[in-house]
Structure 1
Amino acid sequence: MPPALFAMRPLRAALLDAVAVLSPTSCAGCGRADRGVCDECRVSLAPSVGVATVDDLAVSFALDYDGVPRSVLASFKDGGRTDVAPHLAPALAAAVAHALDAAGQGPTRKGFAARTGASVDAVHLVTIPSSRAAFRERGFTPVGLLLAHGGLRAERALFARRRAADQVGLSAVSRQRNRSGWLAARRWVAGERVALVDDILTTGSTLLEARRALREAGAVVVGAAVLARTPRRHPSATTAVVRG
């Protein structure tokens, strides 16, 4: 570590202590007082990128949805803890970079939305739309916020053409039925290369539905990236993982 950065560490700790006094909080990972994410839990959020296969779709992931990552992500999505977004964003950015490398597109911070001057070979990042109810409750879109903290942005290329039930607690078969025909593309995207981005990979039914909708609109889906995968709910992810 450069001497200048080493010297800044005590200052950073002092600033965090001052913030904790003015606005008490607790670690989203372990509950320890006075830190949004404590130093020990931050280590558990360091990306270790792997690859899962859903059908024939390659999905890059950075974390296992278990332990500290699960607690922090749950606090972020369902507990309104937007203060932990900067601690989760690097892992999602690492998964995205891996997916783009695998697609033959080097990682870049210039954005991937259509009509931004990117080359015709650029890979457009596309996120899964949140339901209106979820957006009203949270006030933000989790994946979009994490991408923004990582210096990335995605195109809103999909919309929900019908309501779908919450996936929590559904079996793999029920998840697939629940998502079948749920999404549609906002416009014709013939020939565009697309990488899907989501937060958690379980059975993969949501990603496969998004791929179907984009393919029907003419897109070429080259891969996907998620923040975390659920190993016990997705056997193919367990057997196909590649650490890097």
Structure 2
Amino acid sequence: MTGLLVSLVDLVLPRECAGCGRPGTLLCAGCLPGAGPVPVPSAVLPVLAAGRYDGGLRRAIVRYKERDRRELAGPLGAALASAVAALAASDTAAAPVLVPVPSSPRAARERGGDHVLRLARHAARRTATPLVPALSLARRVRDSAGLHRDERAANLAGAMRATGPLGSGRAVIVDDIVTTGATLHEAARALREAGWTILGGAAVAATPRRAGSAGR
């Protein structure tokens, strides 16, 4: 029934790629990351992003987050899954769980829910990896848009708390975009203090100035 409804909607309102406007699909192959996960420089933990935060992928993420295009959680979550799978394959000591970074209550209200958690659910299903929302915010934080590296770090310092380990106790932290890495670093701090082992971080996209060229 769901498939029939989707087909009927497509007949009335044909799909267009959210990245480039090409008809036929929510996010076309040209806008999806296709060259493999991108290593993101980090002094604290290994981080992989599915692609660079530019072009069609950037436009799709903005529309998903800021313009209520929730249907994009599927293809963007699939992109996130590719980064998760590559990171998990680098260490087979024990199966990890996915821990999404938390959205602030205000951001969740404005975006109709926790947008990172939605992406993480899709990635968890695609990789058959348990999802554990172990992180929460311990205090209010500012919107990170427009903040410089040091400002982002100060804004997030001590802002998260975590519940204790579940399953293997090994976590892959997931987010939508990596810019300076401050969010992932704070999430890793909170999880480690709660007793977790951090395998690394995975994201849908990394800003070009942060993304490494290796692995492309």
TM-score by length of 1: 0.76
Deviation, 1:242, is: 2.0
| In structure 2, C-alpha distance between the alignment counterparts of 1:129 and 1:70, rounded to whole Å | 21
Q: Specify the alignment match of 1:135 in structure 2.
A: 108
2:74 corresponds, among 86, 90, 95, to: 86
Amino acid at match of 1:211: A
Aligned to 2:31: 44
Question: RMSD in angstroms over aligned alpha carbons?
Answer: 2.5
Task: State the partner residue of 2:9.
Answer: 19
Q: Distance in 2 between matches of 1:129 and 1:198?
A: 9
Identity of paired residues, percent? 38
Match of 2:161 in 1: 184
TM-fit CA distance, 1:51: 1.5
1:156 & 1:224 partners in 2: Cα distance? Answer: 15
1:181 positional shift: 0.6
Q: Which amino acid aligns with 1:229?
A: A
* Matched residue SS, 1:95: helix
Unaligned ranges ≥5, structure 2: none
Aligned counterparts of 1:19 and 1:42: Cα–Cα separation in 2: 22
| TM-aligned CA deviation for residue 19 of structure 1 | 2.9
Contact kept in structure 1, 2:103 and 2:116, CA below 8 Å: no
Shift of 1:161: 0.7
Larger radius of gyration: 1
**Secondary structure of 1:210's partner?**
helix
Match of 2:87 among 99, 119, 130: 99
Unmatched runs of 5 consecutive residues or more in structure 1: 1-11, 106-120
**Contact persistence 1:190–1:218 (CA under 8 A):** no
Q: Deviations over 1:135-158 (max 9, x none)?
A: 112222222222333415521111
AA aligned opposite 2:70: T
Matched residue SS, 2:18: coil
> Shift of residue 25 of structure 1?
5.8
Cα deviation, residue 42, structure 1: 3.0
Q: Distance in 2 between matches of 1:94 and 1:27?
A: 20
User: Helix, strand or coil for the counterpart of 1:187?
Assistant: coil
> Which amino acid is 1:88 matched to?
L
How many angstroms does 1:209 deviate by?
0.4
Aligned length: 207
Q: 1:190 Cα shift?
A: 11
Q: Secondary structure at the match of 1:83?
A: helix
Q: From the superposition, tell whether residues 36 and 133 of structure 1 become closer, same or farther in structure 2 (CA, over 3 Å).
A: farther
Pair 142,171 (structure 1): closer, same or farther in 2 beyond 3 Å:
same
Residue of 23, 46, 56 corresponding to 2:44: 56
Match of 1:70 among 52, 58, 67: 58
The 2-side partners of 1:190 and 1:26 are apart by 40
Highest relative contact order (Cα 8 Å, sep 6+), 1 or 2? 2
